[in-house]
Structure 1
Amino acid sequence: MGTRRAPVRRRAIGAVATAVAVTAAAGITLALPAERADAAVPTTIPLTFTNSSGRTEPVYIYNLGTLLSTGQQGWADANGTFHAWPGGANPPVPAPDASIAGPANGGTTTIRMPKFSGRIYFSYGQKLVFKLTTGGLVQPAVQNPSDPNRNILFNWSEYTLNDSGLWINSTQVDMFSVPYAVGVKAANGTVTSTGHLKPGGYQGFYSALKGQPGGWANLIQTRSDGTVLRALAPGHGIESGALPASAMNDYVNRVWSKYASSTLTVTPFADQPGTKYYGRVSGSTMNFTNGAGAVVTSFQKPDSDSIFGCYKLLDAPNDLVRGPISRTLCAGYNRSTLLTNPNQPDTGAAGFYQDAVTNHYARKIHAQMADGNAYAFAFDDVGHHESLVHDGSPQQAYMTLDPLS
């Protein structure tokens, strides 16, 4: 992990048992590049959707977010024109229909992306339900069985477009669902993409998760007609009771035992090898000291939900000490590398997920990605294993809806 200022996928939107009001930008970018006065990025850029899903249902597209020039929350239409959300109410009221007709199978649709920090949603067969409360937009939270979007096949990408360029990802932080890939064309015409599954990877993931003992199969949600809709991320599985809250306890206990008598060294910035912090366990606390021996931050023994969500007892503020250490710990717990390597972060994928106690959801997602990259948990960008593309002078963005095979 370096000091680059790319979008960081944070704790999931709507990550409580019932849907809550959030901004469309929540969970995507907390630290963005400073906008350049001489920016070459136009006000909007084209985003082309290609529907290679093989499905016959209509596709609906939504571009929701925060307009960076004003901080207003709203949506963009197909031309990239911004529309602010009207005021909401309590109980929430329906939001304006922000849907854009997407391409039929085998076709393409091009829309314009404004300078947003937000999400591109897409759904198959029916429109998504968005509502407005007094605090803002209520987005889908399908871990809640009464969410109106629970039985809709949908997914989303996150992006930031500003004067420093475009960052766009494919994300599985909240759920693994209908597959898609993202791409960006640079000024020299080269296209960089990520997010494609291996052939057979979609069904392969679900088959692998079904075969994983310990409650992991319970993360899979299906519709009454038997359609597989998604697999919840393990943090949502704990919230909904699908996955035991003790899923990571054995590993945490072994980490605690190891570092009660040895030192965990964290070097959080790849471009600052001299910046190191040293962790030792004392009772229920892991204290980190700097080179002078002064305690700079402390962590209580984390529970599984804190690990899977990279929050709560592993909170990561956007600072230069606790946040970077927490990001490193979160990655080490999810990938189960803290016992095998006392020097973190461990950035070599060959050693990830080798312990019997690990984030099996993330393990199985990465195993099915064509390039090995994914956003399977919030800080999957530690070591650059995230499914993110970026260009400073983007000419064109892409989303490809892939087959469910």
Structure 2
Amino acid sequence: MVTRRQFLGISAAALSSPLWAGALTAPFATAAPDNLRFRLVNNSGRTAYAYITGQADADGRAMFVRPDGSVYYPTASGSVPQPLGEDPAVPVDGSTEIVVPRMYGARVYFVTDDKLEFFTVRGADGVTAVVHPNFVSDADPNFGKNWTFAEFTLNAEQLYANISYVDFVAAPVGLHLAHAGGTQEVPGLPDGAIDRIASALREQGDAWPACVQEANGTVLRVLNPNHRAEEFTGYLDDYVDQVWRKYANEPLIIDSQRDDIGLVEGRVEGDDLVFGAERFGRPTTADIWGCNSGPFANNPDTDSEERKAIVPRLAAAFNRTTLLINPHQPHGEDPATFYQHPVTNHYARVVHENLPDGKGYAFAYDDVSANPDEDHSGKVNHGDPELLTVTLGKIR
């Protein structure tokens, strides 16, 4: 299964999401191109700029792609954030094409009516890192601006791209990939969806209105509840208790979807859910929303292969609140039953309800599915890509 985590790695795309890295053997016979044409389309009705940034595939250096397709490698002299040495903004008037070299953990940012401010810092290891726009702190100079992004990696194996709502919903973005033999498309949210999503969460009550972020009196972003974790303290406690009681009396079967691991069986023993040698304590609501703390913490260097397989499937079932109705994860899962428990990840529910094809990353393990042919996450990928079109729509 091709996943966002495997392709994006430890990168800008994971700044406020779990950090993963790892090799993947792609199911393509030939190497992907060294460079790929990107078509950037501005359907927002406003002046727009794009920024293409990530890590160089060859050596991991932070990089931006200039409007002419050349590469800018920013440098930093110290640990205090400093502005970039040049402006790498790509004007997008109607549409423009740019040739993008191989890079990983990358983003295509869009911003309207303004430009974004990026900064650099020099780490203790001497490596320059890019400080990306901050959507949580109103002290960030980009906070009140209308910006959004799509994620991608282009390496020797293939082009992989997706639209992520793991952090927030903002102005809509769509993807279209032309490749040898056909096309793939992820339409993303329609124009104006942000107001419908904001209204739905406000009507949901409880802590959900806290996810709606305004600037200058209008909705600018709707945040994943992971970024409002303090507002949701204890929200899922009763659900977790019910899950623990259920699996103290019957087994929970998780299909690792790996031939070398197969099915694993778990039961609650004491206060832990136990799968062989792997023990999982009760997750908090913050653990479930973030998918990277408590029992779901990602420790790629020390976690067993069994734990690496269990965590995504268990975390996905908690977010979708299907553990009380399906003891066979993720097989037996029916998307029609996702988010139907009254206490659930309503952010993910509302985002998926507003997507024309229902596909998009609303939490970090939203790519977990019952079979390889089923996709909830909304990605495009191919080993012989020809043109990736990234389209910015209207925020309202």
Q: What's the TM-score once normalised by structure 1's chain length?
A: 0.86
CA contact (8 A) 2:191 2:395 kept: no
Instruction: Say if 2:361 is the partner of 1:372.
Output: no
Q: How far has the Cα of 1:37 moved from its partner?
A: 12
The alpha-carbon distance between structure 1 residues 222 and 311, as it changes in their structure 2 partners (threshold 3 A), is same
Q: How far has the Cα of 1:94 moved from its partner?
A: 1.2
CA contact (8 A) 1:196 1:402 kept: no
Q: How far has the Cα of 1:52 moved from its partner?
A: 1.6
Counterpart among 62, 67, 75 of residue 78 in structure 1 = 67
**SS in structure 1 at match of 2:385:** coil
Instruction: Say if 2:117 is the partner of 1:125.
Output: no
Match of 2:283 in 1: 302
Instruction: Give the letter for the 1:176 counterpart.
Output: V
The equivalences for 1:165-244 within 5 A come to 165-188=158-181, 190-198=182-190, 201-224=193-216, 226-238=217-229, 241=230, 243-244=231-232
- 2:90 and 2:54 map into 1 onto residues whose CA distance is 18
1:150-171 CA distance string (max 9 Å, x none): 1111111110101211000001
Instruction: Give the letter for the 1:220 counterpart.
Output: V
Match of 2:305 in 1: 320
Instruction: Say if 2:156 is the partner of 1:159.
Output: no
- 1:138 and 1:200 map into 2 onto residues whose CA distance is 29
Count of aligned positions = 377
Instruction: Give the letter for the 1:403 counterpart.
Output: K
**SS in structure 2 at match of 1:350:** helix
- 1:128 and 1:9 map into 2 onto residues whose CA distance is 28
Instruction: Give the letter for the 2:310 counterpart.
Output: I
CA contact (8 A) 1:62 1:98 kept: no
The alpha-carbon distance between structure 1 residues 209 and 307, as it changes in their structure 2 partners (threshold 3 A), is same
The alpha-carbon distance between structure 1 residues 37 and 209, as it changes in their structure 2 partners (threshold 3 A), is closer
Instruction: Give the letter for the 1:357 counterpart.
Output: V
Match of 2:273 in 1: 286
Match of 1:292 in 2: none
- 1:306 and 1:202 map into 2 onto residues whose CA distance is 26
1:292-348 CA distance string (max 9 Å, x none): xxx2x1111111111111111212445621111000011000000111100101542
- 1:125 and 1:370 map into 2 onto residues whose CA distance is 27
Structure 2's unaligned 5+ residue stretches are 124-128, 370-374
Q: How far has the Cα of 1:281 moved from its partner?
A: 1.4
Instruction: Say if 2:54 is the partner of 1:62.
Output: no
Superposed CA RMSD in Å reads 2.5
- 1:25 and 1:201 map into 2 onto residues whose CA distance is 23
- 2:87 and 2:266 map into 1 onto residues whose CA distance is 49
Counterpart among 362, 384, 387 of residue 393 in structure 1 = 384
- 2:183 and 2:368 map into 1 onto residues whose CA distance is 24
Structure 1's unaligned 5+ residue stretches are 14-21, 290-294
**SS in structure 2 at match of 1:307:** helix
- 1:218 and 1:167 map into 2 onto residues whose CA distance is 33
**SS in structure 2 at match of 1:181:** strand
- 1:390 and 1:10 map into 2 onto residues whose CA distance is 10
193-202 or 154-163, which moves further after superposition?
193-202
Counterpart among 82, 87, 95 of residue 93 in structure 1 = 82
CA contact (8 A) 2:192 2:394 kept: no
The alpha-carbon distance between structure 1 residues 140 and 10, as it changes in their structure 2 partners (threshold 3 A), is farther
Q: What's the TM-score once normalised by structure 2's chain length?
A: 0.88
135-144 or 306-315, which moves further after superposition?
135-144
- 1:316 and 1:129 map into 2 onto residues whose CA distance is 31
1:21-64 CA distance string (max 9 Å, x none): x843546762343589984432211111111223x2x2121111
Counterpart among 346, 351, 355 of residue 360 in structure 1 = 346
